Amino acid sequence: MWKWLNSYADPERSYKLAGTLLPWFVCLAIALIGVGTTWGLLFAPMDYQQGDSFRIIYIHVPAASMSMAAYMGMATASFIGIVWQIKAADWAAASIAPIGAVITFIALFTGAAWGKPMWGTWWVWDARLTSELVLLFLYLGVIALYASFEDKVLAARAAGILAIVGVVNIPIIKYSVDWWSSLHQPATIKITEKSTMTGDMLYPLIINIFGFGMMIGAITLVRFRAEVLARNGMRPWVRALATQEVSK
Amino acid sequence: MNPRRKKRLTLAVALIAGVAAVASLLLYALNSNLNLFYTPYEIVNGKNDTGVKPEIGQRIRVGGMVTMGSMKRDPNSLHVEFAVHDSAGGEITVTYDDLLPDLFREGQGIVAQGVLVESGKLEASEVLAKHDENYMPPEVAEAMGQKHEKLDYPEQKSTEGYQY
């Protein structure tokens, strides 16, 4: 098992594996987001209090939950990269960071756009909103650290330490609405008890959450492949690949 | 596992554990200051853990439910007055002179920011509606007896010569 897993530390093999997985992720992402968004925006019933404005939930909640999931993915990759010194894991972490930053921004932006008509304000410094903003800064910090060193091994180590330290923020985001009084409402989708949302509103939301996950996976794979090529430009297999592409 | 990896693993785990410990101690110390608002009960009786009461003239936020039937509207201006209560039994009066948010209803959770003018009375400069985690279609809400009517605004007397 370990030996089999370890063989993917080889850049060429992980590059090829990413290439095989990519179409599956792309197809699933398009299908799930297509179904979830159409269902959510056009066919789900409107909310008894918020009317149609609640539909922003179909973008906001998937973006917010995936911003945390992507961070856990990035931190896990950094952890593997630091402990086992596997460069492919460092490259994976570096390729997740910008996607995570964008998805966090989307969550904050859609939240603000919903907050203005519903709460009456774009922004309030409550625990949930502030910790999600900190998550955005963590992503930006990881991107900046990885970009500021010429030596990418050193860069990945510096960015990786920040990514691992930032993991403490994830439970804070998740439980901020339960631990402290905040303007942001508590979680609607619950794993252990009944969700406080009716099924016909809930299913498209869950489909969209998985769709966003697949989309992040797909973009990560594209960026990971580019990163592998950029770091291995002098290797014979990359050169062979390049000549092959040119002669096509 | 070779010794170098073992060392790095220990260091990484120690780093995570250390940061987690620091963060949890920090949050524990800051605990009550991280709350966005006072509840009405805390304004009347002091905070649960420290017993600190907000002083008259202090700028605070209060969060709670708008008491049913407590809403009083001045017919000539935007001035409104309503009571906010919580499950612990505290209640304070809030006055406000601006437009209320869409979701504002009697029975709805709100967060009001303003100055405590006398004990139990807040002059709000901002009123925010707090939405809860329940989402449902109107038919379901009706069946559950949770019909939330929008506030009735008294009909305005039509001004002469003012036509759209």
Query: The CATH number of the domain where B73 resides is what?
Result: 2.40.50.140
- Let me know if residue B159 belongs to a domain: no
Residues A100, A232 contacting (CB under 8 angstroms) = no
Integer Cα distance of A211 and A36 in angstroms: 8
* The pLDDT value given to residue B154: 44
Residue recorded with tokens 């499950």? B87
Taking residue A10's Cβ as centre, other Cβ atoms within 10 Å add up to 15
Task: Please give the average pLDDT of every successive group of 10 residues along chain A, which has 248 residues.
Answer: 77 91 96 94 84 88 95 95 91 95 96 88 89 95 94 93 94 89 82 77 92 96 94 88 84
Residues A74, A93 contacting (CB under 8 angstroms) = yes
Same domain membership, residue B50 and residue B117? yes
Partners of residue B109 on adjacent β-strands: B65, B130
Show the tokens assigned to B77.
């201006």
- Let me know if residue B23 belongs to a domain: yes
Residues A169, A141 contacting (CB under 8 angstroms) = no
Q: A 88-117 residues with CB below 8 A of B?
A: 117
Q: B 51-110 residues with CB below 8 A of A?
A: 63, 100-103
Same domain membership, residue B127 and residue B49? yes
Residue recorded with tokens 């990418």? A152
Same domain membership, residue B7 and residue B49? no
- Let me know if residue B156 belongs to a domain: no
* The pLDDT value given to residue B157: 41
What are the pLDDT digits (tens) for B126-135?
A: 888 888 777 7
- Let me know if residue B142 belongs to a domain: no
- Let me know if residue B162 belongs to a domain: no
Ordered by start, the domain boundaries in chain A are 17-238
Q: B 126-145 residues with CB below 8 A of A?
A: 126-142
Residue recorded with tokens 């009084």? A181
- Let me know if residue B161 belongs to a domain: no
* The pLDDT value given to residue A71: 96
DSSP state of A158: H
- Let me know if residue B53 belongs to a domain: yes
pTM for this entry: 0.85
Same domain membership, residue B69 and residue B113? yes
As for how many domains chain B has, the answer is: 2
Residue B50: give the domain boundaries. Answer: 40-132
Distance from chain centroid for Cα B112: 6
What are the pLDDT digits (tens) for B37-95?
A: 888 888 888 777 777 778 888 888 888 888 888 888 888 888 889 898 888 888 889 99
Closest residue by Cα to residue B40 from B79, B81, B94: B94
Same domain membership, residue B84 and residue B46? yes
* The pLDDT value given to residue A229: 92
What are the pLDDT digits (tens) for B112-160?
A: 988 988 888 889 888 888 887 777 777 777 766 655 554 444 444 444 4
- Identify which of A49, A124, A127 has the shortest CB distance to residue B128: A124
- Identify which of B12, B20, B129 has the shortest CB distance to residue A119: B129
Pairing of strands B91-96, B121-130: parallel
- Identify which of B5, B37, B126 has the shortest CB distance to residue A83: B5
Cβ-defined contact of A119 to B148 (cutoff 8 Å): no
Cβ-defined contact of A183 to B36 (cutoff 8 Å): yes
Q: Which of A6, A48, A90 to mutate to test the interface with B (most CBs of B within 10 A)?
A: A48
Name the band, by pLDDT with cuts 50, 70 and 90, for residue B163.
very low
Cβ-defined contact of B135 to A161 (cutoff 8 Å): no
Residues B128, A183 contacting (CB under 8 angstroms) = yes
Same domain membership, residue B59 and residue B117? yes
- Let me know if residue B146 belongs to a domain: no
* The pLDDT value given to residue B45: 82
Integer Cα distance of A27 and A156 in angstroms: 31
B161, pLDDT greater than 60: no
Per residue, the 3-state secondary structure of chain A, as one string, reads CHHHHHHHHCHHHHHHHHHHHHHHHHHHHHHHHHHHHHHHHHHCCCECCCEHHHHHHHHHHHHHHHHHHHHHHHHHHHHHHHHHCCHHHHHHHHHHHHHHHHHHHHHHHHHHHHHHHHCCCCCCCCHHHHHHHHHHHHHHHHHHHHHCCCCHHHHHHHHHHHHHHHHHHHHHHHHHHHHCCCCCCCCCCCCCCCCCECHHHHHHHHHHHHHHHHHHHHHHHHHHHHHHHHHCCCCHHHHHHHHHHHHC
